C-alpha cells in the first residue's frame, strides 16, 4: 500500500491512525500542500480532485479519507473499527460525519487561503472563524461521547470515530482553540492517539524540523 499525504493534513492523519491501529505496513509519498505539490501533473492524474490522502493498492486508487477508512475496515477486519451491530455503526458514522462534513472543510488549508486572499480576512478573523466551527462540532461530539463513549469516543475500543477525533483535536490545539469545555472528547482522543503514536504528524518523514 502507498499512502499519498502530507504530514499536517488532518485527513491523511486519519488514515495513518487506522493503518497504525490495524498494524498495516505501507509506504508514503508526500505532497507539500503549502507549495501546491498536490497539483503536480503526476498526482493530479492519480487523484483528479488534487487533494490528499489517496491510497494506492495493487492498481486500485482510493480517494477521500472516509472511503479509505471504510475500505480498510472491510478489507482488513481485525481489529474492527466499526461496532458489530447496526445501531453502533450508525452512531460512529454520525460522529465521523460531524467532523468530516461539518467541521474540517471549514478550517482546512484551501478554505483559510480563500478567506485571506479572496475576502481579505485578517488573522484574527481567520482564527475566530476556525474556533466558531470547531467548537460547534466539539460541543456536539462531547454530548455524543458522554452518551456512547467508554475509554474511547464510542465504547471501550477504538473506532473510526477516534481516527477522526484525534486529528481534529490536533488541529484545535495547533490553532489555539480552547478545548477545556470538552473533557470527554479530549480524554478519548488522548487514549486513541497513544495507540497510534507513529501516525502523529511530527513523526512523519516530511514533517518540518
Residue at 55 is within a domain: yes
**Does residue 56 sit in the same domain as residue 153?**
no
CATH number at residue 106: 1.20.1050.10
The sheet that has 27-30: what strands, in order across it? Answer: 27-30, 2-5, 54-57, 60-63
Question: Predicted confidence band at 148 (pLDDT cuts at 50, 70, 90)?
Answer: very high
HEC-encoded secondary structure of the chain: CEEEECCCCHHHHHHHHHHHHHCCCCEEEECCHHHCHHHCHHHHHHCCCCCCCEEEECCEEEECHHHHHHHHHHHCCCCCCCCCCHHHHHHHHHHHHHHHCCCHHHCCHHHHHHHHHCCCCCHHHHHHHHHHHHHHHHHHHHHHHHHHECCCCCECCCCHHHHHHHHHHHHHHHCCCCCCCCHHHHHHHHHHHHHCHHHCHHHCCCCCC
Name the domain boundary from 30, 59, 78: 78
Residue at 207 is within a domain: no
Torsion region of 59: left, alpha or beta (phi above 0 gives left; psi -120 to 50 gives alpha): left
**Is the predicted pLDDT of residue 9 greater than 90, yes or no?**
yes
**Does residue 110 sit in the same domain as residue 15?**
no
Residue at 155 is within a domain: yes
Q: What is the mean pLDDT of residues 25-33?
A: 97
Dihedral, CA of residue 165, residue 170, residue 171 and residue 173, to nearest 10: 120
Name the domain boundary from 78, 96, 114: 78
**pLDDT above 70 coverage of the chain, percent:** 100
**Is the predicted pLDDT of residue 19 greater than 90, yes or no?**
yes
**34-73 CB burial, b ≥16 within 10 A, e <16:** eeeebeeeebeebbeebbbbbbbeeeeebbbbbebbbebb
**Does residue 108 sit in the same domain as residue 46?**
no
Supply the pLDDT for residue 20: 98
Residue at 204 is within a domain: no
Residue span of the structural domain in which 105 resides: 86-195
Q: Per-residue pLDDT tens for 159-182?
A: 999 999 999 999 999 999 999 999
Q: Per-residue pLDDT tens for 89-139?
A: 999 999 999 999 999 999 999 999 999 999 999 999 999 999 999 999 999
In the chain, the number of structural domains is: 2
Q: What is the mean pLDDT of residues 72-82?
A: 98
**Does residue 101 sit in the same domain as residue 53?**
no
Question: Predicted confidence band at 209 (pLDDT cuts at 50, 70, 90)?
Answer: confident
Q: What is the mean pLDDT of residues 59-63?
A: 96
CATH number at residue 20: 3.40.30.10
**Is the predicted pLDDT of residue 192 greater than 90, yes or no?**
yes
**Does residue 96 sit in the same domain as residue 115?**
yes
**Does residue 74 sit in the same domain as residue 90?**
no
Strand partners, 63: 54
In 10 A of CB 125, how many CB atoms? 13
**Does residue 116 sit in the same domain as residue 177?**
yes
Supply the pLDDT for residue 100: 97
**Is the predicted pLDDT of residue 147 greater than 90, yes or no?**
yes
Could you tell me if 2 and 25 are in contact, meaning their C-beta atoms sit under 8 angstroms apart?
Answer: no
Residue at 25 is within a domain: yes
Name the domain boundary from 25, 58, 78: 78
Residue at 43 is within a domain: yes
**Is the predicted pLDDT of residue 77 greater than 90, yes or no?**
yes
Amino acid at each position: 500500500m502507498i499512502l499519498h499525504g502530507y504530514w499536517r493534513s488532518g485527513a491523511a492523519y486519519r488514515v495513518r491512525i487506522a493503518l497504525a491501529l490495524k498494524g498495516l505496513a505501507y509506504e508514503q509519498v508526500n505532497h507539500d500542500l503549502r507549495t501546491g505539490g498536490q497539483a503536480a501533473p503526476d498526482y493530479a492524474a492519480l487523484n483528479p480532485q488534487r487533494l490528499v490522502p489517496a491510497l494506492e493498492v495493487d492498481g486500485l486508487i482510493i480517494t477521500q479519507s472516509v472511503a479509505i477508512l471504510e475500505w480498510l475496515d472491510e478489507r482488513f477486519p481485525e481489529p474492527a473499527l466499526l461496532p458489530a451491530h447496526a445501531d453502533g455503526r450508525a452512531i460512529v458514522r454520525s460522529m465521523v460525519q460531524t467532523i468530516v462534513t461539518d467541521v474540517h472543510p471549514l478550517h482546512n488549508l484551501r478554505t483559510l487561503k480563500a478567506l485571506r486572499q479572496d475576502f481579505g480576512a485578517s488573522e484574527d478573523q481567520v482564527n475566530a472563524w476556525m474556533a466558531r466551527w470547531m467548537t460547534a462540532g466539539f460541543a456536539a461530539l462531547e454530548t455524543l461521547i458522554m452518551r456512547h463513549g467508554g475509554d474511547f469516543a464510542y465504547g471501550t475500543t477504538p473506532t473510526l470515530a477516534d481516527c477522526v477525533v484525534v486529528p481534529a483535536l490536533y488541529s484545535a490545539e495547533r490553532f489555539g482553540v480552547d478545548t477545556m469545555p470538552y473533557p470527554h472528547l479530549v480524554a478519548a482522543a488522548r487514549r486513541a492517539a497513544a495507540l497510534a503514536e507513529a501516525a502523529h504528524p511530527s513523526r512523519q518523514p516530511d514533517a518540518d524540523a
